[in-house]
Amino acid sequence: MKAEPARTEIPGELRLEMHARLLRVRIASRRLAELYREQEMRTPAHFGLGQEAVAVGVVTALRPGDVVYSHHRAHNHYLASGGSVYELAAELYGREAGCSRGRGGSAHLTAQAVGFIASTAILGETIAIATGSALAFSMRGERRLAVSFFGEAACEEGIFYESINYAAIRRLPVLYVCENNLYSTESPLSVRQPAGTELCERARSFKLKAERVDGNDLAAVYEASARLADGLRRGEGPAFLECMTYRWLEHVGPHFDHEAGRTYRSREEVESWMQRCPVKRSAAEIIRLGVADEAALAALSNGITRDVEDAVKRARAADPPPQGDLYADVW
């Protein structure tokens, strides 16, 4: 990981805004994971606890008109984009008020109004789709960016290379964000990448600009994203950002590994990463810089918690899709 540059250049206001967004993602995700245990949300859900800074840091570097795509672990990206907690919760509960009207579930989210276009459940798919949206922007001369969030396992799928090759040939404005959390389900990197692999090197061999950052460092993610987004808007061609991070919970579902008796990661490893909690780190930095004090942050957190609570309650109480609509919207 690179040495961290001084970051006083991020205005305090923006830091606070990002932190608020981070808190919202964290608090909503955590609450949803809690509720998920009740078995009322019948949709396989991949929670992103621990990885929130990636989504927030990247999305903060975007502008209106830019679009975001995500993968199976989509909640963070949806929420960071400004997607409604109520609609997300309703989606998980399988309600008509869900962002996808209960049809797609956890892995198929959409919030077009805030630029979050879609997530899909099969690895690698949205990497190409984001590239295609960038193609549309490029063909129409629009200065918009497409962002594709995916896990490092998607870099095992051929579609990733087909896509970045294409984006590089046509200098498309796509930011490929790889959230490297070291595992694919329960498989460590060692069974999936040759020793010594640098994904950035791969991206560079396709002529992408590439950077690697500490994905738990909100400011670092934001700065790298802003830098790369600048280049993208100047037409310098696609970029790749690898964010090193870690998922706290099991691959799918609400439990910690140890609760579920899973042994592929040691408890020490999980806990050491939890020490590097992106929310705590962001809070500490904000306090250190004097942007806000502990009390202000607590108030912020409390407000969000109340909003989230209200949203999930309403979502749970919302109506399911009418059975007569089974065939609606097939095409």
Ligand X SMILES: Cc1ncc(C[n+]2csc(CCOP(=O)(O)OP(=O)(O)O)c2C)c(N)n1
Contact 87, 41 (CB under 8 A): no
Site string for its own copies, 192-221 (x = CB under 8 A): xxxxxxx--xx-xxxx--------------
Our CB check for ligand X shows the closer of 60 and 120 to be: 120
By CB under 6 A, tell whether 183 contacts ligand X.
Answer: yes
Our CB check for its own copies shows the closer of 160 and 273 to be: 160
By CB under 8 A, tell whether 139 contacts other proteins.
Answer: yes
Measured CA to CA in angstroms, residue 305 lies from 22, 25, 50, 85, 144 at distances of 13, 11, 18, 11, 33
> Which amino acid is located at 236 in the chain?
E
By CB under 8 A, tell whether 107 contacts other proteins.
Answer: yes
- Using CA atoms, how far apart are residues 115 and 109, in angstroms rounded to an integer? 12
By CB under 6 A, tell whether 185 contacts ligand X.
Answer: yes
By CB under 6 A, tell whether 189 contacts ligand X.
Answer: no
Site string for Mg ion, 164-203 (x = CB under 5 A): -----------------x--x-------------------
Which of 12, 31, 132, 126 shows the shortest CA–CA distance to 69? 126
Dihedral sign of CA atoms 200, 204, 208, 210 in order: positive
Residue least distant from ligand X (Cβ): 151
- Using CA atoms, how far apart are residues 142 and 149, in angstroms rounded to an integer? 21
- Least separation, in Å, of the C-beta of 251 and ligand X? 6
- Strand-pair partners of 268: none
Contact 203, 73 (CB under 8 A): no
- Using CA atoms, how far apart are residues 102 and 253, in angstroms rounded to an integer? 18
Residues within window 235-254 making contact with other proteins, judged by CB under 8 A = 252-253
By CB under 8 A, tell whether 159 contacts other proteins.
Answer: yes
Residue span binding ligand X (CB under 6 A) among the ranges 53-61, 118-126, 130-138, 224-232: 118-126
**Among the listed residues 98, 105, 124, 151, the single contact to Mg ion using CB under 5 A:** 151
Can you give the binding site for ligand X, defined by CB under 6 A? 46, 72-73, 121-123, 151-154, 181, 183-185, 251
